[in-house]
Amino acid sequence: IYLQHTCYICGNAMSGGTQTINHIKAVHGYEIPSRAVGYKRPQDNDQEYVRDMSNADVLHYACPSCWFHCPEDDLEALNEHTRDEH
């Protein structure tokens, strides 16, 4: 799985979580928290995460504030998660 940092409002793809959080604040006027520094995504025995999109079989939208992710065709799920949780 490749995790794409995507704006939950407009769907624009960003290069990382920090860039996504900055975009949301600058463009849309909302502040959401960032993840704590130094904590990596927990290992998952059922899924393998890759850093290069070309090596991925699946693309998911990733929340910049926590470990949540959802299928790329479900921006509404990312939007609902962000509004409800952050």
Residue 19: predicted pLDDT: 97
Residue 44: predicted pLDDT: 77
25: tokens are 């604040």
For the chain, which ranges sit under pLDDT 50?
Answer: none
Residue 80: predicted pLDDT: 97
Residue 54: predicted pLDDT: 87
Q: Indicate the domain borders of the chain.
A: 2-32+47-85
Interior/surface letters 56-71, b for 16+ CB within 10 angstroms, e for the rest: beebbbbbbbbebbbe
Neighbours of 6 (CB within 10 A): 24
Residue 61: predicted pLDDT: 97
pTM of the model: 0.85
Residue 46: predicted pLDDT: 80
Closest CA to 9 of 85, 86, 82: 82
